[in-house]
Amino acid sequence: PWKRLAKRPGAVLKHWHAVPTLEDNTFCLAYNLDGLLPSSKTQLVAILASSNIPGSIIPAEDVVRALRKRARELMIQKMRVSVD
């Protein structure tokens, strides 16, 4: 659904990319929360809590808590968070 929303005029789709934590193991990944934190224009954040491909699990509660804290700091009135 967010890909369809991104096709609307003025909408932007941003991807949160994992970074490898070990040089010799490309499947050992971590996510930098700073890369996900919303801007004042953010209206929707959708994250996948786990993935079978790299076998990673994202601490969804911590991520949602950080997103909501950042939204309060930026005084974002209506930002939705979707976790799958």
Q: Does the reported pTM lie above 0.75?
A: no
**Residues in CB range of 59: below 8 A, 6 or more apart:** none
Taking phi over 0 as left and psi of -120 to 50 as alpha, with beta for the rest, 17 belongs to beta
> What residues make up the domain containing 50?
2-83
pLDDT tens, per residue, the chain with 84 residues: 667 878 888 888 877 777 777 777 767 777 777 777 777 778 777 777 777 766 667 788 888 888 888 888 888 877 777 776
Structure tokens at 37: 């934190």
Could you tell me the CA-to-CA distances from 40 to 13, 44, 61, 67 in Å, in that order? 15, 11, 22, 12
Number of domains forming the structure of the chain: 1
